Structure 1
């Protein structure tokens, strides 16, 4: 599928974005960009999913959200012990959880046997090098060379776990299932969509990545929104 390229403004009207039919939607984000989360909430409302899986939640946390739990920021922040988890403010994520009445599920933590995802085999050299370069850039050039292999392996394992949790949600709840995750997991070429395709090539998966005007990784839909004001992310590495 040729990617759909859109520049999203804060004034984007509700319902202005529609996505192709799919069994699974992987909706990416830059974690601290509030516009990205607002777009995810609109897309979830339009998809009307059978379940929504969050990278940010463990299964235990997600299990605390009952069908009648109010899905406002204050309630969810306290219920999920969210503020201590290192993620941006729950006020950004609560509207996504409130955008439908679908069950909220967690993708963090164990997902059972992952042998089908090919984690034991090496990556093609060009992809390994590309992944290492991205990890180094994401950590402001501060990673020692011997750490890059571990970081790439960890990312591969996370993609496989997220894919496994999504497939379990699909089995338990039916389609469509939405995954909310960072852009690195949403990319179509080697993220969660590729992991799903490895074990369930019959499924229709639509990937959405959201940037801030920069070149973005491959996806079915590529959206852009203004970057929020933020400090220097490399300060912590100096």
Structure 2
């Protein structure tokens, strides 16, 4: 059965057409829910398809950039799986079941696709959320510049995603200044992922950079794609998976949505 895709407007688009468009981009951002095996298998299939078109570098939210040397050791065949996960501090820096992600890691190793960490220390995210960038010493900014303020559609999406206007919340709208602290923290991650994608592109100028990133960072014209644009990398696509029975993202949420058959229960 062929993959079924919808474009940004919600109209049907062929698998061949969207893959050809993605292969021409500077960066392709593949969303996920972290605990969904079907999402990670889809990501692996898309990476493999894009790698048939041109060189690919795969960036991962799951690893901080400081572990790039370990990722290179894995791709180069210098570590077995257990040693890789231990040396990459998997249980500390991420913690979701590694088996969810191993198909993508094994694919990168099999095809010789460079891997790059996209993340930064959580302490920086918390500190910027609390104090803003002005409260962070330049030496403690992990090489990041302050995030560009997010568009309102993205703020609204994050506000709704995190509970909307519940009576017990201090912030009662996406525009409420009381929501700024939360959105500042979200933007640190967005800026970090974008900054490291730009660096991966600079390190591999002829390659397409594919980001493996939680879908909450990719939607409604904001998040990583928006920050990439402010950093000068204009041609990026955000692609999302959605399984049968799951709610479809609203039109405009992403550049493409792939409709997946639901996997049977595990075990």
- TM-score band (shorter)? 0.7 to 0.9
The total of aligned residue pairs comes to: 215
Alpha-carbon distance in structure 1 between the residues aligned to 2:35 and 2:85:
16
Does residue 222 (structure 1) correspond to residue 257 (structure 2)? The answer is: yes
Does residue 118 (structure 1) correspond to residue 148 (structure 2)? The answer is: yes
Q: Which runs of 4+ in 1 moved over 6 A?
A: 4-7, 227-230
Higher-Rg structure is 2
- In the alignment, which residue of structure 2 is the partner of 1:62? 68
Cα drift, residue 227 of structure 1: 7.4
Normalised by the size of structure 2, how large is the TM-score?
0.68
- In the alignment, which residue of structure 2 is the partner of 1:23? 26
Normalised by the size of structure 1, how large is the TM-score?
0.75
Secondary structure of the structure 2 residue equivalent to 1:169: helix
Structure 2 unmatched runs, 5+: 1-5, 121-140, 172-177
Structure 1 unmatched runs, 5+: 8-14, 231-238
1:111 to 1:45, Cα distance in 2 relative to 1, 3 A = farther
Alpha-carbon distance in structure 1 between the residues aligned to 2:200 and 2:226:
17
**1:51-74 per-position Cα deviation (integer Å, ceiling 9, x unaligned):** 211011012323213142367643
Alpha-carbon distance in structure 1 between the residues aligned to 2:102 and 2:263:
20
The answer on whether the counterparts of 1:72 and 1:95 sit within 8 Å (CA) in structure 2 is: no
Cα drift, residue 97 of structure 1: 2.0
Does residue 3 (structure 1) correspond to residue 1 (structure 2)? The answer is: no
Q: How does 1:168-179 map to 2 (within 5 A)?
A: 168-174=199-205, 175-179=207-211
1:81 to 1:126, Cα distance in 2 relative to 1, 3 A = closer
Secondary structure of the structure 1 residue equivalent to 2:19: coil
Does residue 35 (structure 1) correspond to residue 38 (structure 2)? The answer is: yes
Higher helix share: 2
